[in-house]
Amino acid sequence: MKKITIAIDGFSSCGKSTMAKDLAREIGYIYIDSGAMYRAVTLYSIENGIFQGDRIDTEKLEKHIGDIHISFQLNPETGRPDTYLNGVNVENKIRTMEVSSRVSPVAALGFVREAMVAQQQEMGKAKGIVMDGRDIGTTVFPDAELKIFVTATPEIRAQRRYDELKAKGQEASFDEILENVRQRDYIDQNREVSPLRKADDALLLDNSNLTIAQQKEWLAEQFNIVV
């Protein structure tokens, strides 16, 4: 069977990572979470004094961007890839509210995007990949054979993230999460470089009222049509 490239884009916390991971596992493709890469750059910035309060020292980050190496390794316990920053497993550290609230301005910087897009294109060279993010179908893999754009209402997305954090035993406030979801939507859609938008040839999936099983079935159908 021919191997294709699958690009899944959409708003934050709309369940696209879960959907992309499950699909990749089922069809034996590699899964790459491009958001994790921007989160890792943000964590690096927090840990290396690149943030002064909310201000980003862009000059310092640009000087160090070449030192930031991100990779993924399958975690045999979860069956999903963990994110590594310069060889260190940072999977849990990049999912905190501190990183979530600082990632969008970092991801809006042109030189950060350039560096990440180059790494992503390299990872996808051999096809057989499912990548999720904001600009995969528009910028990273404009020739992807299957493109999906996922959305759901901000309230539903905030509730999902809230449940996820609670399940992990992390402190969470629904209002704070909803505010963070809205803020990230705004920054992601309005930034100058690669703003979040649906590629013209992407299929739209609003999963506000879909169960995971229904979504899975829909996705399998789309995959079978293309392959």
43 in contact with ligand C5P (CB under 6 A): no
Residue (of 22, 27, 216, 187) closest to 100 by Cα position: 187
Q: Which of residues 105-124 bind ligand C5P (CB under 6 A)?
A: 107
State yes or no: residue 102 binds ligand C5P (CB under 6 A): no
In eight-state DSSP terms, residue 148 is: E
Tell me the site size for ligand C5P, rule CB under 6 A.
14
- For the chain, the distance separating the N- and C-terminal CA atoms, rounded to the nearest angstrom, is 8
Of the candidates 122, 161, 165, the residue with the CA atom closest to the CA atom of residue 140? 122
Q: Applying CB under 6 A, which part among 63-71, 81-89, 130-138, 145-153 lies near ligand C5P?
A: 130-138
216 is in an annotated binding site: no
Buried b (16+ CB within 10 A) or exposed e, 83-105: bbbeeeebbebbbebebbbbbbb
Residue 35 binds to ligand C5P (criterion: CB under 6 A)? yes
Q: Specify the residue, 36 or 219, whose C-beta has the smaller distance to ligand C5P.
A: 36
Question: Is residue 180 near ligand C5P by the rule CB under 6 A?
Answer: no
| Closest-CA residue to 181 (of 203, 165, 198, 162) | 162
Binding of ligand C5P by 12 (CB under 6 A): yes
Window contacting ligand C5P (CB under 6 A); options: 65-73, 102-110, 173-181, 217-225: 102-110
Min. distance of Cβ 1 from ligand C5P in angstroms? 27
150 binds ligand C5P per the rule CB under 6 A: no
Residue 21 touching ligand C5P (CB under 6 A):
no
Residues that bind ligand C5P (CB under 6 A): 12, 34-35, 38-39, 103-104, 107, 133-136, 184, 188
Binding-site entries = 10-18
